[in-house]
């Protein structure tokens, strides 16, 4: 019985760690990653990124994926990083993210949510350079 408890506890700890690292799934919208006070900032970011996206959405509150056009990725990639950097400067300094900054960057590089095709650390460094 004792060994069973140890196994159950380690499984639970692994599951909790996974939820902390990945607090989202395929259907999580971008606005769900920020506090209510900063949803306007997220809507502003999505609105600024609209010209670069392949699909247009009616409401920024419904955006769950940021798939950029090939032209954007080829010619305007740095502009996208600048927009993300401006958003992070506003929100991260106030503690407006519901998740960690790393989890937010992980969300942005996840193939289920965007087509940036870059690593998490690469995105972090490019966003830092864009400031």
Q: Where are the domains of the chain?
A: 26-130
Alpha-carbon distances, residue 126 vs 11, 76, 79, 105, 123 (angstroms): 36, 13, 11, 11, 5
Distance of alpha carbon 63 from its chain centroid, rounded?
Answer: 12
Give the tens place of pLDDT for each residue, 10-25: 888 888 887 777 777 8
User: What would the mean pLDDT of 87-97 be, rounded to a whole number?
Assistant: 88
Q: Quick check: 19 and 99 in contact, CB under 8 A?
A: no
| Res. 2: pLDDT tops 60 | no
What are the b/e assignments for 68-89, b being 16+ CB within 10 Å?
beeebbeebeeebbbbbbbbbe
The whole-number pLDDT of residue 68 equals 93
- pLDDT given at position 4: 60
Residue 3's nearest CA partner among 80, 76, 11 is: 11
């Amino acid at each position: 019985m004792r060994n069973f408890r140890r196994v159950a506890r380690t499984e639970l700890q692994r599951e909790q760690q996974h939820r902390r690292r990945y607090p989202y799934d395929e259907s999580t919208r971008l606005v769900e990653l920020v506090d209510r006070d900063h949803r306007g900032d997220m809507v502003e970011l999505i609105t600024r990124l609209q010209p670069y996206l392949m699909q247009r959405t009616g409401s920024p509150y419904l955006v769950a994926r940021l798939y950029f056009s090939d032209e954007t990725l080829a010619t305007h990639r740095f502009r996208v990083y600048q927009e993300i950097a401006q958003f992070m400067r506003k929100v991260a300094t106030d503690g407006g993210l519901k998740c960690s900054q790393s989890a937010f960057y992980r969300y942005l590089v996840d193939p289920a949510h965007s087509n940036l095709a870059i690593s998490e650390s690469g995105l972090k460094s490019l966003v830092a350079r864009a400031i």
